[in-house]
């Protein structure tokens, strides 16, 4: 006579609950850690101690003459109205080519107890590239009139 034990479905249910709970916990904690809040420089200064524990995005214009580059790293000052903040960027890649004096920049990282924003990413947009032309400036690029293409001359 063989004595067979019946497999309890309860063991499988418990194992399934543990696996699902673990996956849910990892997803929630990972999403929480990767979330970043957009704040102005004034809002960052007003956040107090809560600013030290969050991933943040801070935007402003790069103060002329404040950029100091060393390899792929850079330190600079962001200006927003009358508020400024010093940014220390340490990244795997150098700042983009559009990162220049007076450019609009977005720094992504954390605010340190030392009063410096420690950025791991920097995005920049060249302000002069998107500014309207001044009166009297000569247009740049190809100024020849465009010829209509075959698609533009078709009549329906």
Tokens standing for residue 72: 């792929």
Q: Is residue 143 part of a domain?
A: no
Q: Is residue 26 part of a domain?
A: no
Q: Which domain holds residue 105?
A: 35-130
Each residue's pLDDT expressed in tens, for the chain with a length of 156 residues: 444 555 678 888 888 899 988 888 787 776 655 566 788 888 888 888 878 878 889 988 999 999 999 888 999 999 988 899 999 999 888 888 888 888 889 999 999 889 899 999 998 875 554 455 555 554 454 444 444 444 444 444
Is the pTM above the cut of 0.85? no
* CATH number reported for the structural domain that contains residue 53 in this entry: 2.40.50.140
Q: Is residue 142 part of a domain?
A: no
Q: Is residue 77 part of a domain?
A: yes
Give the total number of structural domains in the chain. 1
């Amino acid at each position: 006579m063989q004595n067979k034990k019946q497999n309890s479905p309860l063991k499988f249910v418990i194992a399934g609950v543990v696996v699902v709970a673990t996956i849910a916990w990892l997803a929630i904690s990972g999403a929480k850690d990767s979330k970043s809040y957009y704040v102005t420089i004034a809002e960052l200064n007003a956040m107090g101690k809560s600013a030290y524990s969050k991933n943040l995005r801070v935007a402003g214009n790069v103060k002329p003459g404040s950029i100091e580059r060393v390899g792929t790293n850079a330190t600079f000052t962001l200006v927003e109205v009358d508020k400024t903040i010093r940014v220390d960027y340490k990244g795997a890649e150098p700042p983009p080519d559009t990162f220049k004096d007076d450019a609009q920049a977005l720094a992504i990282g954390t605010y340190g107890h030392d009063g410096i924003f420690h950025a791991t990413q920097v995005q920049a947009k060249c302000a002069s590239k998107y500014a309207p032309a001044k009166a009297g400036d000569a247009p740049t690029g190809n100024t020849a009139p465009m010829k209509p293409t075959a698609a533009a001359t078709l009549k329906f």
